[in-house]
Amino acid sequence: MPTAAKAQLIEEMTEKLGRARGAVLLQTEGLTVAEAQDLRRKLRAQGIELHVIKNTLLRKASEAAHYQDLSALLIGQTAIALSYEDEVASAKAISDYLKTARTAKPIKVKAGILERGPISAKQVEDLAKVPSRDILRGQVVGTVLGPLNQTYGVLSAPLRDLVNVLEARIRQLGEGAAA
């Protein structure tokens, strides 16, 4: 039976896992305090929380939040980056940090969590390459509007050409009457 403090920690992590839309599990062994603070600050700026928690407590919280079994991933020191607004935000933020960080011992992505189930480190890397939701929406709108704009142009061309011919004729008649 966990102590009251551990039970409260499990309850808090269960609530956070329940709200999270995406997460990345990291191996942070060898990370200095300054590097860990830098990582937290950069993730917090993007709306992502980073927690270092004992594996047994994280396993119990994930079970309480009805996640698939994460036991195989919870080996060694584990940190979890939680994203509440976007499924890919934590993967993108970690990927960006890994590209720019110069740590003595690099952070390793163990796995990710998407739709309450684990995904591999390779899938987290692929997920980080997916454009954001707003960019995807813009691409869909552009894909739909492109053919519509072309159709509009084709349908309005004869009318536009007729107006241009009439305007030219009016100018021609106006120049003939002035002379």
Residue percentage of the chain with pLDDT more than 70 = 96
Tokens of 59: 């396993």
Mean pLDDT over each residue of the chain, to the nearest integer: 84
Rounded distance, CA 129 to CA 55, Å? Answer: 28
Rounded distance, CA 117 to CA 42, Å? Answer: 26
pLDDT of 40 over the 60 cut: yes
Please say whether the beta carbons of 112 and 125 come within 8 A.
no
User: Does the domain spanning 4-130 belong to CATH 3.30.70.1730?
Assistant: yes
Residue 90's pLDDT is 85
- Tens-place pLDDT, residues 121-172: 888 888 888 887 788 888 888 888 888 888 888 888 888 888 899 999 888 8
- Domains of the chain by residue range: 4-130, 133-179
The sign one gets for the Cα dihedral 15, 9, 62, 45 is: positive
Rounded distance, CA 162 to CA 118, Å? Answer: 63
Tokens of 5: 């403090």
Residue 119's pLDDT is 83
Can you tell me the mean pLDDT for 12-19?
Answer: 87
